[in-house]
């Protein structure tokens, strides 16, 4: 399914019935990132929508703006298309900032937000890490290598196939540019909207996320900013929803019950 927005269209899938949960993957990824988390949420009685970011997956490419504000606007447009009275928005990595922007822009449509290993505030990087980020942004195969390494201890059986699909996607120069623009955005504009978020918030963080020097400290800092709760997923890296979907669901379901 698709929804048209200014500048292009967004691809999404829908499964289940009940209160609406919208799941958005991080940069360089597709909505298949939630392939293991969606079934337990549907079984628990939720209508689960998984959506591709602009410039990724089956969404159109060639956008002029890849900021977190733009991603937030896309989510608001999707919520309007779905016409649900309230939804919980899940965003992984860069998309967590888009979730925050959507909650600030359309509070009447957002019942709660979940940041999964999210980049919602500026995180200082040393020169070596900045150089590595630039290399990864230029190479689909290096991105695929990072993606594997960011699954720290429990790599799903289909990870090789998923990585191959990401490499194929990123061979398209416009889709590679979308990832590059997001990856090199070191000052997430979500941070400026955090004070406008009034809905319940949950921060889920892999305890072994390689993107943060101290994942637990980052989770606490984010939860404090959002006036929410932080839950660590033991053993997980940057993608707990595909590394440990059962643990992720166990942490998520009580929050969903209270949010609705």
Q: What is the 3-state secondary structure (H, E, C) of 214-241?
A: CHHHHHHHHHHHHCCEEEEECCCCCCHH
Work out whether the CA dihedral 157, 141, 178, 4 comes out positive or negative.
negative
Domain architecture of the chain: domains with CATH: 2-259 (3.40.50.1820)
Q: Which of 37-51, 106-120, 130-144 has the lowest mean pLDDT?
A: 130-144
pTM, rounded to two decimals: 0.95
Is the pLDDT at 138 greater than 90? The verdict is: no
Q: Note the pLDDT tens digit of each residue in 62-110.
A: 999 999 999 999 999 999 999 988 999 999 999 999 999 999 999 999 9
Q: Which of 73, 74, 75, 12 is nearest to 48 (CA)?
A: 12
């Amino acid at each position: 399914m698709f929804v048209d927005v200014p500048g292009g269209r967004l691809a999404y899938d829908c499964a289940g019935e009940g209160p609406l949960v919208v799941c958005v993957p991080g940069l360089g990824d597709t909505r298949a990132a939630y392939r293991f988390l969606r079934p337990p949420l549907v079984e628990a009685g939720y209508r689960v929508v998984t959506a591709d970011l602009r410039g990724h997956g089956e969404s159109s490419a060639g956008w002029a703006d890849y900021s977190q504000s733009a991603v937030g606007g896309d989510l608001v447009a999707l919520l309007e298309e779905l016409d649900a009275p309230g939804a919980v928005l899940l965003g992984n990595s860069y998309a967590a900032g888009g979730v925050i922007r959507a909650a600030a822009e359309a509070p009447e449509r957002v019942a709660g937000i979940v940041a999964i290993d999210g980049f919602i505030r500026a995180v200082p990087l040393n020169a070596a890490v900045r150089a590595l980020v630039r290399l990864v942004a230029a190479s689909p195969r290096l991105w695929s290598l990072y993606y594997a390494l960011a699954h720290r201890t429990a790599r799903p059986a289909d990870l090789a196939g998923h990585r191959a699909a990401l490499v194929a996607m990123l061979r398209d120069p416009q889709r590679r540019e979308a990832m590059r623009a997001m990856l090199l955005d070191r000052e997430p504009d979500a941070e400026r909207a955090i004070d406008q978020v009034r809905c319940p918030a949950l921060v889920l963080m892999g305890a072994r996320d390689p993107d943060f020097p101290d994942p637990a400290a980052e989770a606490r800092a984010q939860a404090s900013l959002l006036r929410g709760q932080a839950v660590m997923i033991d053993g997980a890296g940057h993608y707990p929803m595909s590394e440990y979907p059962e643990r992720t669901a166990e942490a998520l379901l009580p929050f969903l019950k209270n949010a609705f």
